[in-house]
């Protein structure tokens, strides 16, 4: 581990670290008005019938240059990707409105995309998905290409992977491996978890508040969404782009595997990591 990494991690508010690289924090102070979903996907998990529940998924406004909000409404057009969606309207969900539009009111920085979820109708053995695509926005606003498509993942099967594990983590290139006898996996919400460590750094190297990464286990398929390294650095940790949304799997009641990469936005070099967790 380079000495610069240790010094850099002390100044986490200013800089970030990977194994060898550093990157200044990005300050987003200018640019066009942009709207997009807050995340690439969100899970909706119910294991008993709680009746019909309305769930709202935020669509955010950002990049207004001087940080001010807008003086007039933004109308956002959307459509459903019926060919890719596996969830059925009238079974897992219903739309609150069927206009194909959302209105982000003047003075606000987000608007919720509402769905009625039929909690007693989620599949108990496999996940289903509703794919929503933002098409355009009014008021000289552009749609964020990164978060144009949004997946609502309906889950009726509950994950039980929380626990204490031994983890074996391999960095693919340059090759290196670390074995951690203790790597706790904590449930943060239903089917959402956080590991204790990430990458191949020794415990305590990155952040005293926690060094792991967030993951979602849906019926044995693991997804790792893009997130800041250890939750605080400008470095990004995400599932491999080539994984097509499946970044690991539950092998058995005592073992699961993940694959992810660490790098920077706009950087062509992302380092790949493969982890195997075996329950202690």
Instruction: Spell out the domain ranges in the chain.
Output: 34-155, 159-279
Alpha-carbon span 95 to 153, nearest angstrom: 15
Specify whether the CB–CB gap between 41 and 107 falls below 8 A: no
Cα distances (angstroms) measured from residue 133 to each of 115, 120, 144, 152: 15, 26, 11, 11
State the CB neighbour count (10 A cutoff) for residue 249.
14
Segment 139-155, tens digit of pLDDT: 889 998 877 899 999 99
Q: What is the pLDDT along the chain (280 residues), one digit of tens a residue?
A: 333 333 333 333 333 344 434 343 333 345 678 999 988 889 898 988 999 999 999 999 987 555 567 789 999 999 999 999 999 999 999 999 889 999 999 989 899 999 999 999 999 888 899 999 999 999 889 998 877 899 999 999 989 999 999 999 999 999 999 999 999 999 999 889 999 999 998 888 887 667 999 999 988 999 999 999 988 888 999 998 777 778 999 999 999 999 999 998 777 789 999 999 999 9
Chain centre to alpha carbon of residue 51? 27
Alpha-carbon span 114 to 69, nearest angstrom: 22
Residue bearing tokens 């059925």:
88
Residue bearing tokens 């100044």:
11
Chain centre to alpha carbon of residue 122? 22
Cα distance from N-terminal residue to C-terminal residue, the chain: 28
In CATH, the number for domain 34-155 is 2.60.40.2030
Share of the chain above pLDDT 90, in %: 61
Q: What is the pLDDT of residue 67?
A: 59
- Options 2.40.128, 2.40.160, 2.60.120, 3.30.70; which CATH number does 159-279 get? 2.40.128
Segment 55-85, tens digit of pLDDT: 999 999 987 555 567 789 999 999 999 999 9
């Amino acid at each position: 581990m380079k000495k610069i990494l240790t010094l850099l991690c002390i100044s986490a508010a200013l800089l970030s670290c990977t194994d060898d690289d550093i990157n200044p924090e990005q300050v987003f102070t200018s640019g066009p008005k942009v709207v997009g979903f807050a995340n690439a996907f969100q899970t909706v998990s119910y294991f008993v019938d709680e009746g019909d529940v309305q769930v709202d998924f935020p669509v955010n406004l950002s990049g207004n240059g001087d940080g001010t909000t807008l003086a007039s409404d933004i109308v956002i057009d959307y459509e459903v990707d019926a060919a890719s969606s596996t969830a059925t309207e009238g079974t897992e969900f219903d739309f609150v409105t069927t206009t194909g539009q959302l209105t982000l009111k003047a003075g606000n920085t987000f608007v919720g995309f509402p769905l009625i979820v039929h909690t007693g109708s989620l599949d108990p053995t496999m996940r289903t998905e509703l794919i929503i695509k933002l098409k355009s926005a009014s008021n000289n606003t552009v749609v964020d290409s990164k978060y144009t498509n949004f997946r609502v993942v309906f889950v009726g099967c509950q994950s039980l992977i929380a626990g204490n594990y031994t983890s074996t983590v391999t960095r693919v290139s340059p090759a290196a491996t670390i074995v951690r006898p203790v790597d706790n996996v904590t449930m943060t919400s239903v089917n959402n978890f956080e590991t204790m460590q990430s990458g191949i750094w020794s415990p305590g190297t990155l952040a005293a508040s926690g060094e792991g990464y967030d993951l979602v286990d849906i019926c044995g398929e693991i997804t790792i969404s893009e997130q800041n390294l250890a939750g605080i650095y400008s470095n990004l940790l995400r599932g491999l782009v080539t994984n097509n949304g499946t970044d690991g799997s539950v092998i058995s009641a005592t073992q699961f595997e993940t694959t992810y990469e660490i790098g920077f936005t706009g950087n062509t070099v992302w380092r790949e990591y493969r982890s195997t967790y075996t329950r202690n």
